[in-house]
Chains A and B, each alone.
Chain A
Amino acid sequence: MHKILSATFIAPDIKRFTIQAPKIALKRKAGQFVIIRINDVGERIPLTIADSDSEKGTIDIIVQGIGKTTKELNTLQSGDYLTDVVGPLGKPSHIENFGTAVSIGGGVGTAIAYPTAVALKQAGNHTISIIGGRTKEFVILEDEMKKVCDEVFITTDDGSYGKHGFVTDLLKELIETRKIDFVLAIGPIPMMKAVAEVTREKEIQTVVSLNPIMVDGTGMCGGCRASVDNKIVFVCVDGPEFDAHKVDFKTLMTRNQSYLMEEKESLEQHDCRLNSLSSEQGSVGTSQRNVILSN
């Protein structure tokens, strides 16, 4: 059992948790994730470790409530417990001094991009961050990014904050005005795909973090397989980060919709139960990372 030490909404339906997990806090590197289970009937869902404090023995995860499990997770409060937390899983991000590195986070993807941006900065890169959100209130981790990055740009789809437009519009502008050596893009699949298309023609090394449905997270089940460079990879042990120019995004998107019907059923049941409990928390929640990012 892992105690939740703090739980705060940082955007609508997006909650940041600090969880007691000393061993993981000590070992984890940027890009790695944990798998959690919130109770004895719960599913195993992967969540990227957004931050950690090895002295306090804590890790942070940032969760958007879309499906049943993430919604239920986001009703948990400081002092509650998670039944299982296992990790750190996956390969750490490949970090080196590329020169100028741009880290792009779309929506809750910014939470996943953040630790790698920190590592890129520590490795000596001139680090630029682009944070994208649907509207102003979905722009997250701006202050944190500003602390570690040399430059931070914001875009919103509706123009309510920062630049009006998509992260790719801003990326194109940056590429035109200066030499970019490395791009990290994490967010909804269409966003990652769009970034890959922008950098492909400029031959800029680009990495994306994939978000397939997982079960065990240790390579045992093969459920998280994706197609990269026309080969089957298991994202949990071979990734989660891959060369954006070689990823088959269409297959990833399709496979992430394997359980749409079941997710709907599960969620309806959950909402039903919440309503009948007339919970004061009833509004928020999240889904699996994979659902969030694929929609």
Chain B
Amino acid sequence: MPEKISNKERMKIPRQVMPEQDPLIRRNNFGEVNLGFTEELAKMEALRCIQCPKPTCVEGCPVGVKIGEFIALVADGNFLGAAEKMKEDNLLPAICGRVCPQEEQCEIKCVVGKKNEPVAIGRLERFVADYERETVGIRVPGLKPKTGKKVAIVGSGPAGLSCAGDLIQMGYDVTAFEALHELGGVLIYGIPEFRLPKSIVKAEIDSLKTLGVEFITNAVIGLTDTVDELMQNGYDAVFIAVGAGLPYFLNILGENLNGVYSSNEFLTRVNLMKAYRFPGFDTPVFNCKDKNIAVFGGGNTAMDTVRISKRLGAKNAYIIYRRSDVEMPARAEEIHHAKEEGIEFILLSNPLEFLGDERGWLKSVKIQRMELGEPDSSGRRRPIPIPGSDYILPIDMAVISIGNGSNPIIQKTTPDLQYNKWGNILVDENTMKTSKKGVFAGGDIVTGGATVILAMGAGRKAAAAINNYLTQVNRIY
């Protein structure tokens, strides 16, 4: 590695390409699409970072990873040092390195990116985390002395995990409650194996267990124990991070036909219950082989769903979206990968009705073409129906992937929390405090459906706020 390298020379290095599985091969398997940087590629990419005195990339990171510092260590070949630096701010780097939308967060703010392509921060993060795990195993940071206080975390998804990681390091006893039989929330039931291998989620959760976080599965807070009961049972604070988890449907005719799914159901069957290995695993899912599959929506969840259907043998797999590709909320990389795998995009098209056969099975969808009008409240151009443009598209399975409302279980059993009209828990933006004393909330249950890293950011913010709250409580007595 060159000892002194000028910024000019750094800027000349092209952004390194991460090896990935060939699209024609990977669309037939559930193996990971991205294969990760080699050591050489990582070092070369790290050299592209010009080590800005005021790194704007960090501002873009919801958890404030010291990006420049860890990248400098990568450039020096000190990969384990880089991992340690990273974990000062993020205990789940292998997950974040894979699923964060870096192009909208840190990388969009990268100074190098103003003239050239930005430094591949996400890929370096992933490399560093994988390197540590695969060479010496995940090392965990030290803990502060025990405070004697207990915190309950409701939900073991990204918000809950990041909050648990911070609090355990601060010296709290932490118990995380999970409704399902496996830990990880959306990381397990939502994101498919080919984008985030479950073994990696398990490994990072195991590192939290090593730190002393207690996990309890099959615990539906609100039913198994209420939030009030947690407080009565000796928890000094509760962090509610149950996710969104109540899928929206289109509310059009034929939506209850057999073969119509929510993304949540389809993904849960495949990812959590391993239906792609049926009958080795007991849970079935629609047999996609040689069928026409349509996924309605344009987000990352829609991309995950449609790419799974292709892997399950779909003949034609469509994304049907009512706006154009510019307005699609999915990550550019996911759209790119989907197209490479042969997914067909039917844009500016809106479903009007599902049509079935006499036995109640989906056979087709009536589609209306749209054109874009003036921008709406979201700033995106509003889709307007084109009269007389209806047509029938034959499909065998439809998956509705248009987002989630808030799950009602906590709301029904914790009446003294305040909610907005969509059922999201209201919190103080700075402290994540709810209207109920000692109860904090964050992640999708507060924001509505968002990203893994935003939820992790909320979890960390809540951890700091809970620490603050419990420290003050201490002072009073």
Q: Is the interface of A mostly helix, strand, loop or mixed?
A: mixed
Residue contact B287 to A215, C-beta cutoff 8 Å: no
Task: State how many angstroms separate the Cβ of B281 from the closest Cβ of chain A.
Answer: 5
Q: How far is the CB of A209 from chain B (nearest CB, A)?
A: 17
Contact yes or no, A219 B409, CB < 8 A: yes
Chain A binder among B75-83, B197-205, B250-258, B371-379: B250-258
Chain A contributes a number of interface residues (CB within 8 A of B) equal to 45
Judging by beta carbons under 8 Å apart, are A221 and B279 in contact? Answer: no
B283's partner among A43, A219, A226 (CB-CB below 8 A) is A43
Q: Are A220 and B264 in contact (CB under 8 A)?
A: yes
Instruction: Determine if A85 and B223 form an interchain contact, defined as CB atoms under 8 angstroms apart.
Output: no
| A41 B281 Cβ-Cβ under 8 A | yes
- CB neighbours (8 Å) of B246 from chain A are 219-220, 222, 234, 237
A69 within 8 A of B: yes
> For A216, what are the chain B residues with a Cβ–Cβ distance below 8 Å?
179-180, 189, 268
B407 interfacial contact with A, CB 8 Å? yes
Pairwise interchain contact A218-B360, C-beta atoms closer than 8 A: no
B279 touches A86 (CB 8 A): no
Contact B279 A266 (CB under 8 A): yes
The answer on a CB contact under 8 Å between B217 and A84 is yes
Given contacts A86-B179, A220-B268, contact A24 B224 (CB under 8 A): yes
Query: B280 an interface residue at 8 Å Cβ cutoff?
Result: yes
Per-residue CB contact flags for chain B residues 379-418 toward chain A (1 = under 8 Å, else 0) read: 0000000000000000000000000000111000000000
Is A254 interfacial (CB-CB < 8 Å)?
yes
A162 at the B interface (CB under 8 A): no
* A232-B220 CB under 8 A given contacts A221-B262, A222-B262, A254-B359: no
Q: Please tell me if A44 contacts chain B, counting CB pairs below 8 Å.
A: yes
Chain A neighbourhood of B220, CB < 8 A: 86-87, 89, 218
Query: CB distance A222 to B273 under 8 Å?
Result: no
Query: With a CB–CB cut-off of 8 A, which chain B residues contact A255?
Result: 256, 258, 360
List, in ascending order, chain A residues with CB within 8 A of B283's CB: 43-44, 215
Verify if B249 is at the interface (C-beta below 8 Å from A).
yes
**Cβ proximity bits B176-198 to A, threshold 8 Å, 1 near / 0 not:** 00011100000001000000000
Asked if B278 and A223 make an inter-chain contact with CB atoms under 8 angstroms apart, the answer reads no
Closest B residue by C-beta to A38: B282
Interface residues of B in 258-279 (CB under 8 A from A): 258-259, 261-262, 264-265, 268-269, 273-274, 278-279
Q: Given A86-B181, A88-B223, A220-B407, 12 more contacts at CB 8 Å?
A: A43-B283, A84-B217, A87-B223, A88-B224, A216-B189, A220-B179, A222-B265, A237-B246, A254-B257, A255-B360, A257-B360, A262-B284
> Can you identify 29 A-B contacts, CB atoms within 8 angstroms?
A23-B224, A23-B225, A27-B224, A41-B274, A41-B281, A43-B273, A43-B281, A43-B283, A44-B283, A68-B282, A69-B282, A84-B218, A89-B223, A215-B265, A215-B269, A215-B273, A218-B179, A219-B407, A222-B261, A222-B265, A223-B261, A223-B265, A225-B249, A255-B256, A257-B258, A261-B287, A262-B279, A266-B278, A266-B279
Binding site for B on A (CB under 8 A): 23-24, 27, 37, 41-44, 68-69, 83-89, 215-216, 218-223, 225-227, 232, 234, 237, 248, 250-251, 254-255, 257-259, 261-263, 265-266, 269
